[in-house]
Amino acid sequence: MLTDILVGVETAASFALVLLILLHSGRGGGLSDMFGSTVGTAAAGSTVAEKNLDRLTITVAVIFALATVILGIRWG
């Protein structure tokens, strides 16, 4: 039962990571430009939305990594 829960967590985290990474700004666009912001490319990564998106992405990545390691130990 624990393995099934971990597989579900890992699957949800993988889909969330794909979506969160796609929301990040590339060279000039991204989340800040999507809402009509006129911030230049020099300050594009310093908005509150980008910082929160970074934090959320890192958190989901850590959850994904931990679930992967635990599943590897359980099945290994």
3, 67 in Cβ contact below 8 A? Answer: no
What is the average per-residue pLDDT within 54-76?
A: 95
Residue 26: which pLDDT band, with cuts at 50, 70 and 90?
confident
Is 55's pLDDT higher than 80?
yes
Domain count, the chain: 1
Q: Report how far residue 22's alpha carbon sits from residue 65's, in angstroms, rounded to the nearest whole number.
A: 19
The pTM (predicted TM-score) of the whole model is 0.74
Distances (CA, A) of 29 to 17, 18, 33, 71: 19, 17, 5, 36
* Domain around 67: 1-21+50-76
**Residue 8 resides in a domain:** yes
**Residue 41 resides in a domain:** no
**Residue 64 resides in a domain:** yes
Is 27's pLDDT higher than 80?
no
**Residue 33 resides in a domain:** no
**Residue 72 resides in a domain:** yes
Longest dimension (CA), the chain: 51
Q: What is the pLDDT of residue 36?
A: 60
Is 9's pLDDT higher than 60?
yes
What is the average per-residue pLDDT within 19-36?
A: 73
**Residue 43 resides in a domain:** no
Q: Write the burial class of residue 53 (CB in 10 Å: 0-12 exposed, 13-18 middle, 19+ buried).
A: buried
**Residue 36 resides in a domain:** no
**Residue 59 resides in a domain:** yes
